[in-house]
Amino acid sequence: MEAVRPKLAGLRLAGPPRARRELYQCLHTAANRRAQHHPMPAIPGPPPPPPTSAAFERVARKRRQAEMLKQAQEAKASPARPKTMLQKRFWQDVSVAETDDGLQVFLDKRPVRTPDKKILTLPRSKRQLAAAVALEWDVLVSAQQALKTHYIPMTSLAARAVDIQNADAAGKTDVRDSIIKMCMRYLSTDTLLCWAPEHNAHDAGGDSASLRRLQTNIATPIMSYLKTNVWPGVEIKPILEPDSILPLEQPQMTKDVIRGWLNGLPAFELAGLERAVLASKSLLVGARLIHEWGEAFADSRTPSEGTRFGVEQAAQASSTEVTWQTDNWGEVEDTHDVEKEDMRRQLGSVVMLVGGAKS
């Protein structure tokens, strides 16, 4: 401390007396703090090794990732100022044109293509489907959005139907066989046939119908229609006994008839059925919807009496238990309502896909 004071005393401070006095006090206080600081003890051992090239590569990679994240955030915040080709919309107008092969959707002069780079060509009778595909591309703001199927659901569904059609024309059965296998698997646990026990401890009681009675009232007309118009003579029975939770197998004849019917479906009806089954978890609901709206069945089906079986009826039939539960105990916001609208969206896309000029 005594060695510090002469150094402070030897400084020549400029300025008015008050400023010099304040500056001297600051220097004096700082010198006291440095004098009272205890130096860190020396650590024995060799010095640390110098950074390797791998360490520099990690730092560079982290910097690149941070820069890419920053660019993505900026692009999301201001899509009007794209920085890459994918973030730009390279087309101005979207149109539907009738070619020698069928209906095609054009982005200016470029035709919309399937994921395997083939031109998306639709039957001439499906003008409403072509218009829906064109509308999807017309509302996109960047080419990057076209890489995500949830932005172009109708395009993706139509491309799936075209893929099945091309595979059938080439004699390849793997695509169709995989869809049939999936549909038959859902038949074993069909939502429409999973009826609750007769004596349910969670019934609302009073004058309200039990869950099992509600399920049978909705499922019976659908089953009767299928056994009369789609699969004549087959036996369709519930897959749950009143006192059991183990599913029962359908009769072998029923499975054979349904499998043969699936194998004979046209490509667009098969693609629509695949989407309907995945959305409703029910092969019977999907088959009823496809037969009601499919262009392939326009000449064979009889006119429906009363309200036509559509998206709303299919959604209600496939979510009977959820509807019954929410009516009794309330709906979870942002869960039940979102799932309900999403199911209607997917079933609506099925009607749009299989429909046509004759529907």
Separation between Cα atoms, residue 281 and residue 275, nearest integer Å: 10
Residue 172 has a pLDDT of 94
Sign of the dihedral through C-alpha 198, 199, 203, 208: positive
Which residue type is seen at 106?
A: F
Residue 4 has a pLDDT of 46
Which domains can be identified in the chain, with CATH numbers?
Answer: 94-165 (3.30.2180.10), 173-354 (1.10.3580.10)
Q: How many CA atoms lie within 13 A of 85 on its CB side?
A: 0
Question: How distant is the alpha carbon of residue 211 from its chain centre?
Answer: 30
Residue 166 host element (H or E): helix 153-169
CB 343 within 8 A of CB 315: yes
Residue 8 has a pLDDT of 45
User: From first to last of its 359 residues, what are the pLDDT tens digits of the chain?
Assistant: 444 444 444 545 455 555 555 555 555 555 455 545 555 556 666 777 776 677 677 788 888 888 888 877 776 655 555 456 566 888 999 999 999 999 999 999 999 999 889 999 999 999 999 999 999 999 998 888 888 888 999 999 999 999 999 999 999 999 999 999 999 999 989 999 998 877 655 555 544 458 888 999 999 999 999 999 999 989 999 887 766 677 788 999 999 999 999 999 999 999 999 999 999 999 999 999 999 999 999 888 777 666 789 999 999 999 999 988 888 888 888 888 899 999 999 999 999 999 988 77
Residue 132 has a pLDDT of 96
Separation between Cα atoms, residue 202 and residue 357, nearest integer Å: 47
Question: How distant is the alpha carbon of residue 177 from its chain centre?
Answer: 24
Tokens of 44: 């024995």
Residue 46 has a pLDDT of 75
Residue 17 has a pLDDT of 57
Question: How distant is the alpha carbon of residue 25 from its chain centre?
Answer: 70
Tokens of 222: 């659908």
Bridge pairing between strands 103-107 and 110-111: antiparallel
Q: Give residue for tokens 């080419």.
A: 143
CB 119 within 8 A of CB 113: yes
